[in-house]
Each structure stands twice: as structure tokens, then as C-alpha cells.
Homo-oligomer: A and B are copies of this chain.
Amino acid sequence: MAAWSELLAGVRGVLLDISGVLYDGGEGGGAAITGSVEAVARLKRSRLKVRFCTNESQKSRADLVGLLQRLGFDVSESEVTAPAPAACLILKQRGLRPHLLVHDGVRSEFDQIDTSNPNCVVIADAGEDFSYQNMNKAFQVLMELENPVLFSLGKGRYYKETSGLMLDVGPYMKALEYACGIEAEVVGKPSPEFFKSALQEMGVEAHEAQR
């Protein structure tokens, strides 16, 4: 087995996932995964640049970072790359006004975005808010557009909570794609653009990074 020093030769930065890597979600906010608080601290003491790259789309970065700090992690909001802020950037660049089908916990990320007279739809892991009525509304907005544009914050199939497996945003993305005969634009992992933006924010080239 290669030594760590060998594996890390030429590596200048590390992208860390959050959910399922640093902590497991669940009742009361969740729990840090054993050893992860110290691992982050060691990385930050090393010569490596560190950035957190998550598909979390139920919480704002502020709420997520608050939770991680309470669990003991050394992390700040400016170190987190998340799909909602990335989507806001795209919406502004392309002059798009979204109809939002998102969890209330992440809505504040879109505070600066014009949502009047929508000309696209943004969906995220909305949990219980994926009601028939809300899905049908998003569908109707898309069908009324000449060029329906759908953004999906991630495309995960499901995730695990203490209460069991939970449907993620991906299945609902597929539902709207099929209903409207369109293909969604995924903002978040595994989109290469999303990883690139995280590396840019870290000031590291792709070949210099390890995740």
C-alpha cells in the first residue's frame, strides 16, 4: 500500500463532503462521525487547502455551518460550496426568475433573487414539501414556458436518516423531466462545473486536488 505522502504528492487541496462524511443527519441535528472533527483540524493544520463541498439543499449554508460548529468542527460559511448559492449565480448570469420548489430551510439563500413572473423552475430536496399540489404547480409553470428550464440541486436517489431511507431530489427531478419531456440542469455534484467552482474558490487546479 502506498504511503500517504506518496498518494498526496502534488496535491495542494482537499474537497470534503459533509453529510455522511463529517456527520450523519437525524433527530436533533445529527452526530459527528468518529474521528472526523480531529481529521478536519489536522487537515487545516497541514499545508493543504481545505474546502467543504456539499449537495445539502434542505439547509442554508448558515444553518449547516452553525450545526457543524456545534458538533465541534472548525468551519466557516465562506469555506462551503453548496448548490443553492451556485444556482443563484447561474440564475443571475442568465437573467432567470425561478419558481422555487425547495425546503423552507434553504429559502433564505434565494432572498436576493427575483421570483416574480417565473421563467424557470428550481427544485431541491424539499422533503415533505414534495406534495402532489407543489409538484403539479412546478409542472404547470414549466408547461406554460416556451422553453422550459428546470434546475435540480443535485440528483441523489435517496439518503439515510435514523428513521430509514428517504427519497432525495433525484426521483422528483426525473418525474418532472418525464412529465414535461425535458432534461434538467443539475447544479451540484456530480456536475463537473460544480466541482470546478469549488476548486476555483479554493484557488487550486483540478489535478492538484483530492476529494
Interface residues in chain A, defined as those with a beta carbon under 8 Å from any beta carbon in chain B = 126-133, 135-136, 139-140, 143, 157-158, 164-168, 170-172, 174-181
Contact = CB atoms under 8 A, between A and B. Distances in A.
State the oligomeric state as a number of copies.
2
Given A171-B175, A175-B174, A179-B171, A128 B139 contact: no
Contacts of A126: 132
A129 B132 CA distance: 7
Given A128-B132, A132-B129, A140 B165 contact: yes
Interface SS, A side: helix
Contact of A158 (B130, B131, B139): B139
Nearest to A132: B130
Given A139-B171, A140-B165, A158-B179, 9 more contacts: A126-B132, A128-B133, A136-B165, A139-B167, A140-B164, A143-B158, A167-B179, A174-B178, A175-B175
Contacts of A157: 178-181
Nearest to A177: B174
A139 B165 contact: yes
A126 B131 CA distance: 12
Contact of A165 (B129, B143, B158): B143
Contacts of A127: 132
A186 to B, nearest CB: 13
27 contacts: A126-B132, A127-B132, A128-B131, A129-B132, A130-B131, A130-B132, A132-B167, A135-B171, A136-B165, A136-B166, A136-B167, A139-B158, A139-B165, A139-B171, A140-B164, A140-B165, A143-B158, A157-B179, A157-B181, A158-B179, A168-B179, A170-B179, A171-B174, A171-B176, A172-B175, A174-B174, A174-B178
